[in-house]
Structure formats: C-alpha cells, structure tokens
C-alpha cells in the first residue's frame, strides 16, 4: 500500500515537471516571436515617451539611475579595451551620453522630492494649467528630423590639402523632459560645407510647454583626411597611464519650443560656447584641450513637427442649432456638428459628414471666450456665444438639453485651451515622420553542395565518364553562406576502404590523381 502511494506521488511529480518545462518552452517561443515582430513590423518601432519619467516615483527613478550607472561602468571597461581610434570615439560618445542621462535623472529625482515637500506644506504650483488636471491642454507627438549643421570655413581652410585637413567627429545630444538621446557620430573635414544627420527621433505624450535642448559636440582626430582616404586604421595613442581617452567639446546649443514648430525645414539660431547652455552640458573648452575650433555657421536646420491629440480625436459630435445669416437676416438651422482639429464642421445630416463638404465651419481661435446664456425668454434656452478679439461675427450655438449644453461647453473650452497652448500645431496638419524599419536581406536557402561550382580536372579524358555519386549527407546540411569554409573536393570522387590499396584495380588510361581527391572542410 505504501509502495503504491509512493509510486503515485512520483508520477505526479514527473507530470508536474513535464508541464512546467512545456510552459517555460512556450513562454520562450512567445518572447522570441515578439522580438522578431519588433524588428520587422513597423508597428513595433520604438518611440520615446516624454512623460514616462514624470510618472515614475522616487524609488523607480533611483532604480533607473542605478541601472544607468552599471551601464556606465561597462562602457568604461569597454573604453579601456579599445585599440582603434574609431572604437574609442564611439565608446567615448556613449559615455558622454550616459553621463548626461544620469545627471538628468538625478535632477528629475531632486525635483520630485522638492515637489513632494511642497505638497506636504500645502503649497500649490504657480502655473495656470496645473491648477486643474481636467483643464490642462492635450498632449501630442513630437518628431525631429532632417537635422543639418552648416559650416563656415575660411578660404585658407578650403585650400588645405588632404594631408593638412583635420578630421572632425560630430554628434548631437537631445534632451527633453529627462530623456537624453544622441545622434550618430558623423565625420567631416574642411572640404565639406555642412554636417547632415539621418536620425529621426519621435517623442510621445509631449506636453505643450516642452523644451527640447539640442547640443552639438565634436572632437578632432589625431589623423588627417589623407590617412582616412587610404583606409588605414590608426591605433590609439598611448600615454604612461594607458590609452588616451577622446574628449568631446561643446560647439553650440539651442533650445526649441512650441514656437518653433513648422511643417517644413526651418533654420534656428545656434549659440556657440558655454554661454546660455544647459546646466547639464559638458564644460570642456577648446583652450583646455588645444583642439581647433569647429567653424559653425551659427544656424542649425531641422524639421520640428508636432501633432496634438485634438487634431486626430473627435472631441464632440451631435446636433446643434446654429445661427446663420440668410438674406441679411439671422435664422436658426439644425445641423450635425463635429468638433475636431480646432474646428466645428457642420452638415445637414450625419450621413453627409462621410462624403460631402461641410455647409458651415466655425474656427476655434486662441484666447477665445465662451459666453453662455440660459434664459427662458429665448426660444432656445441653452445658448453658447464664441467671442474673440477679431471684428468677425461671433458664432452662436444652441443646445436642446442640459446634458448637451454641459458637454458642448466643456468640449469648446478644451478646444480653446488646446489651440492657445499648441498654437500653429492645431492649425497646420503636420506630418509626423517615423523611423523607417530596415528589413534584413533575404537569406539564401541553397545548401553548400548546391552552391559549389565544380570544374572537371584537366587530367581526366573527356570520353571517359564516371558514375555520379549521391552527395554526402553532412554537406547538404551546411548552409551556403557559412563563413570560413574552404572546399577542395570533387563531387565525382571515389572512396576506397582504408584496408585496401587504391592502386588495385586501377583503370588504364585514367590518371591516378584524377580519382584520388581530398575533401577538406
């Protein structure tokens, strides 16, 4: 009886382990499929959430700081292991970025703690938009692309030979609401007139009062343009303390806000030096490093576009009584109205909104005011009047019920708040440029056996035919693009047992070397 119970318990334990292993295998397969989708599917393109760090508490921010510190320690060890200058430059750029990210997180943590202390003391924020969370402007998507930095070299610099020209390595550092990103490291010299960056950065959940700091860093290589053209990789310069670590210098900086939004590429003023730079900027000057100065034009060109949520979402829809002018007389007309994109568009019926142009458009303007009137003397008891500082006629709307009146009043107030905060972004239909997904090239499915071109040996007589043999099974399993494979075999080789002399039964007229080939893989 006891033996049967022990046997049953062992069976249950085996079944539990089998189910557990199957569950772990399914979970691994699911994770790998998700990772593959994120690489290939445009819907999984990684974007940066500008409001993600603001929503974290103090402990979560501290965990991110510790995580970034561990990454910095790994970058420092990797920098010590670099032997080529290009490797050291890329690693030094990542080290500067990670240091700026840690400083930004520490500043965010300090602001969170100060805010919590102020809340405990009962103080409130001074911003008018922070008084009521329900009355705050909507958030949007911010896209930065087409970055280009013009250069202004002297005539003497342009006339330099390749052996006299310096090599400059330049990149941009982007800072927004605690997020710190960097662009690719670009190489330039005195013969080029601008530095283009192909990076496209998209921020989500961006508030209207964002401040995007762009900082331009550069360093000068120890080699010249002539050695770059020759393709020779220069080793790092050694000092008694070890390898010489590249130092990046702040060449220029600017700050972009909602006033710089536009559908097209625009140029913005660039401040040079450390005057007016962000407190988190690296303060290495050209005097300390004895490097030549990067000749900036004083402008930076980029496309900064935003798309607020009010542009895509329908804030309110329903039937309203609109006061219209017909034959110099005002009359009321019942229309189907849709509030979207800072405009109230009106149709005669709901079905016309899908395929016909609106019969009336009421534009929501910044700093517009709503005057509501509820009086039994009017035929329509709930009246909304949109007043503005322009001399145009004030739109007058009327609702039939108390519920519709409250909903339309709140929706119109929110639309006025969004237009006032986002300005031109609510008027222009800006296109958000997303990073393109680079698909991997198609993998060749031919095996190593199928991809080999076989040429007959010149020692074999053409009239002699040798029976074909089936390819070896181990050769069919090797992919065609397998690296470091060298093949010197012949498909028509004849194999002879080791205990038998190959010279026995040699055919006349056939060279021995034509039949005795070696196979090395």
Handedness of CA 354, 360, 362, 363 (dihedral sign): positive
Q: With contact defined as beta carbons under 8 Å apart, do 257 and 421 qualify?
A: no
C-alpha count within 13 angstroms, C-beta hemisphere, residue 166: 15
Greater pLDDT, 131 or 280: 280
Partnered with residue 186 across adjacent β-strands are: 170
pLDDT, tens only, 75-125: 999 988 888 888 899 999 999 999 999 999 998 898 888 888 888 876 544
* DSSP secondary structure of 313-342: S--EEEEEEEEEEETTEEEEEEEEEEEETT
State phi, psi for 95 to the nearest 5 degrees: -65, -40
DSSP label at residue 192: -
Percent of the chain exceeding pLDDT 70 equals 63
Task: Reply yes or no on whether the pLDDT at 348 is more than 50.
Answer: yes
pLDDT, tens only, 217-258: 999 988 776 666 666 666 666 665 656 778 899 999 999 999
CATH pick for 49-104+137-229+236-309 out of 2.60.40.150, 1.10.630.10, 3.40.190.10, 3.40.50.10140: 2.60.40.150
* DSSP secondary structure of 55-114: T--HHHHHHHHHHHHHHHHHHHHHHHT--BHHHHHHHHHHHHHHHHHHHHHHHHHHHHHH
Of 397, 418, 395, 419, the C-alpha closest to 408 is: 397
Task: Reply yes or no on whether the pLDDT at 482 is more than 60.
Answer: no
pLDDT, tens only, 350-369: 999 888 999 999 999 988 99
Q: With contact defined as beta carbons under 8 Å apart, do 353 and 345 qualify?
A: yes
Residue 437's pLDDT is: 61
Q: Give the integer Cα–Cα distance in Å for 127 and 369.
A: 20
In terms of phi and psi (left: phi > 0; alpha: psi -120 to 50; beta: otherwise), the region of 178 is: left
pLDDT classification of 13: cutoffs 50, 70, 90 = low
Task: Reply yes or no on whether the pLDDT at 494 is more than 60.
Answer: no
Question: Considering the domain 313-426 in this protein, what is its CATH number?
Answer: 2.30.29.30
Greater pLDDT, 25 or 139: 139
Residue 476's pLDDT is: 52
pLDDT, tens only, 414-441: 999 999 999 999 988 898 988 776 554 5
Reduced 3-state DSSP string for 265-289: CEEEECEECCCCCCCCCCCCCHHHH
Residue 139's pLDDT is: 92
pLDDT, tens only, 20-76: 555 555 544 444 333 333 333 333 334 567 677 777 888 899 999 999 999 999 999
Longest dimension (CA), the chain: 124
Task: Reply yes or no on whether the pLDDT at 483 is more than 70.
Answer: no
- List the structure tokens of 23: 């569950």
Q: With contact defined as beta carbons under 8 Å apart, do 345 and 337 qualify?
A: yes
What's the chain's average pLDDT? 76
Residue 504's pLDDT is: 46
Greater pLDDT, 196 or 18: 196
Mean pLDDT of all residues in 321-333: 82
Q: Give the integer Cα–Cα distance in Å for 373 and 375.
A: 6
What are the structural domain ranges in the chain?
49-104+137-229+236-309, 313-426
Partnered with residue 227 across adjacent β-strands are: none
- List the structure tokens of 499: 């205990």
């Amino acid at each position: 009886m006891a033996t049967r119970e022990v046997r049953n318990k062992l069976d249950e334990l085996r079944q539990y382990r089998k189910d557990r292993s199957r569950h772990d295998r399914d979970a691994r397969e699911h994770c790998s499929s998700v990772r593959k989708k994120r690489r290939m599917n445009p819907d999984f393109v990684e974007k940066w959430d500008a409001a993600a760090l603001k929503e974290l508490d103090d402990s979560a921010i501290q965990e991110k700081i510790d995580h970034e510190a561990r990454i910095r320690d790994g970058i420092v060890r990797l920098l010590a292991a670099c032997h080529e200058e290009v490797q050291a430059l890329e690693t030094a750029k990542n080290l500067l970025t990670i240091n700026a990210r840690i400083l930004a997180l520490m500043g965010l943590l300090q602001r969170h703690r100060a805010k919590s202390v102020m809340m405990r003391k009962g103080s409130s924020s001074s911003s008018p938009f922070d008084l009521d969370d329900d009355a705050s402007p909507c958030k949007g998507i911010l896209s930065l692309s087409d970055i280009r930095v013009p250069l202004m070299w002297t005539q003497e610099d342009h006339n330099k030979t390749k052996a006299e020209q310096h090599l400059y390595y330049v990149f941009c550092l982007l800072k927004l609401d605690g997020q710190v990103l960097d662009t690719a490291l670009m190489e330039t010299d005195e013969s080029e007139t601008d530095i283009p960056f192909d990076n496209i950065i998209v921020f989500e959940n961006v508030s209207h009062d964002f401040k995007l700091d762009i900082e331009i860093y550069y360093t000068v290589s120890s080699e010249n343009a002539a050695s770059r053209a020759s393709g020779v990789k220069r080793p790092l310069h050694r000092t008694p303390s070890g390898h010489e670590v590249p130092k990046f210098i702040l060449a220029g900086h600017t700050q972009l806000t909602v006033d710089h939004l536009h559908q097209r590429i625009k140029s913005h003023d660039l401040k040079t030096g450390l005057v007016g730079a962000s407190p988190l900027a690296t303060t290495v000057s050209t005097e300390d490093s004895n490097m030549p100065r990067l000749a900036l034009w004083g402008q930076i060109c980029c496309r900064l576009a935003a798309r607020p949520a009010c542009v895509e979402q329908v804030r309110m829809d329903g039937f309203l009584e609109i006061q219209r002018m017909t034959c110099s007389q005002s009359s009321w007309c019942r229309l189907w109205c849709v509030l979207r994109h800072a405009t109230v568009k009106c149709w005669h019926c709901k079905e016309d909104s899908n395929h016909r142009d609106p019969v009336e458009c009421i534009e929501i303007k910044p700093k517009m005011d709503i005057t509501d009137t509820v009086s039994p003397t009017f035929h329509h008891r709930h009246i909304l009047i949109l007043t503005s500082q322009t001399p145009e006629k004030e739109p007058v709307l009327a609702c039939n019920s108390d519920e519709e009146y409250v909903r339309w009043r709140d929706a119109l107030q929110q639309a006025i708040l969004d237009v006032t905060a986002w300005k031109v972004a609510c008027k222009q239909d800006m296109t958000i440029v997303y990073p393109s997904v680079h698909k991997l090239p198609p993998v060749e499915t031919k095996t190593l056996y199928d991809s080999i071109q076989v040429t007959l040996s010149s020692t074999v007589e053409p009239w002699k035919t040798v029976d074909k043999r089936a390819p070896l099974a181990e050769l069919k399993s090797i992919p065609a693009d397998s690296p470091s494979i060298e093949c010197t075999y012949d498909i028509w080789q004849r194999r002879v047992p080791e205990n038998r002399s190959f010279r026995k039964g040699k055919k006349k007229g056939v060279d021995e070397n034509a039949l005795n080939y070696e196979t090395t893989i």
